[in-house]
Amino acid sequence: MIGVLVSGTGTNLQALLDARLPVVAVASNKPGVQALERAERAGVARAVFELEDFGSREERDLAMAEWLGGHGAEIVVCAGYMHLLTPAFLERFAAINVHPSLLPAFPGLDAVGQALAAGVRETGVTVHFVDDGVDSGPILAQETVAIEEGDTAESLYQRIRAVEHRLLPDAVRVYLAGLVRS
Ligand code: GRF
């Protein structure tokens, strides 16, 4: 059973739902985002955990972990979740993230812009486990995306997103199958 963390449009959440993966709960750090509407349309439990409603990041993550666990989540997928997770949260749940570059290249914000600015010929998508660093945990899956002559951030990101929407559900499915086997 999967809990998904979101902050924005939720196209990766949608890819997980469309792949019929067992998403049981969706938590957002922001109210009113499109990802929450996607969860609602799919009939999945959803909740908002805004940082300012809690005394600290640790307290927020603890409440979020309790809520996710209460809905049966066993692993967590960060699908465009824009906050770091605290160590106590990561002790409770293995968490998987999708990032729009070939990590360890271009971690952090605006990975697509970073790749274009660096003038590299290819970038890509990484699905990795979350640790307490920024996009630094062990890698589960990667796929290359070529950078074409005349690419803008928009045109490149469009091709990267198409890869994300296939690679993330595939990697999560493989990980869950391994959990069942063990
Ligand atoms: C994705 O590009 C993902 O790689 C990054 O944030 C974006 C989230 O998009 N971590 P969405 O909310 O899934 O549409």
Q: Are 20 and 64 in contact (CB under 8 A)?
A: no
pLDDT tens per residue across span 76-95: 999 999 999 999 999 999 99
Calpha distance 169→87 (Å, rounded):
25
71 as an active site residue: the answer is no
Looking at residue 178, its pLDDT comes to 85
* Position in ligand 1 atom list of the atom nearest CA 34: 12
Q: Residue 173: in which H helix or E strand, if any?
A: helix 153-181
Atom of ligand 1 nearest to the CA of 14: 13
Question: What domains, with CATH codes, occur in the chain?
Answer: 1-92 (3.40.50.170)
Distance 124 CA to ligand 1 centre (A): 13
Of 132, 41, 54, 87, residue with least CA distance to 26: 41
pLDDT category, 180, cuts 50, 70, 90? low
Q: What is the pTM of this model?
A: 0.95
Average pLDDT over residues 119-148: 96
Q: Tell me: the pLDDT tens digits for 32-77? A: 999 999 999 999 999 999 999 999 999 999 999 999 999 999 999 9
Question: Each residue of 3-17: pLDDT tens digit?
Answer: 999 999 999 999 999
